[in-house]
Structure 1
Amino acid sequence: MQNNEQRIKQIEKEFIKLGIIDAVPMMMIALGLHTKFSGGEPLFEFLKDDAVVNSLFVIAAPVVLWCMYRSVKLAIERKRIDASVKNSR
């Protein structure tokens, strides 16, 4: 029981870490999408170059996908722990 509670706390900390890691690539993707589809002037001068905008996607997408993968794995583990605690009562 104690072990499950400790693991749940670890999972919650890991979710917070993933949220922090995921914030920067999500902003990169948002900047890239805004630049691609807004039709007006980009927010920053360096975004006028299409290679830079495409690089934002290439760099950010794998990090976001990794964070999503880790989040799903942690959520499944958390659900399994919650179910085992519920069944043991």
Structure 2
Amino acid sequence: YRRDLVSARAALIVGLGMFAVNVTLVAFGPYELSLVGLETQQPKNMSPPSLLLAGHAIMLCALAIAASPAITRWAQRPRVWWLTV
């Protein structure tokens, strides 16, 4: 995101698309809602990494890229910057 290879709008579209994929995988696929590994869970979401876990990681990264312009504007305020330094 630092080199602006992906715009905030494109990242938002990818993030929302991956959210829809994740909801579909949980609602209609074999995956359970919890991404925490449990012994009773079949198939396990963490070991080996599942499609749901990969989709979740992509979604979170895309939403962070989409939010970066707003976070940057917020962090440039003097009081906020003073608290971070």
Band the TM-score falls in, shorter-chain normalisation: 0.3 to 0.5
Q: State the TM-score, normalizing by the size of structure 1.
A: 0.45
Q: Taking CA–CA contacts closer than 8 Å with sequence separation of 6 or more, which of the two structures ends up with the larger relative contact order?
A: 1
Greater share of residues in helix: 1
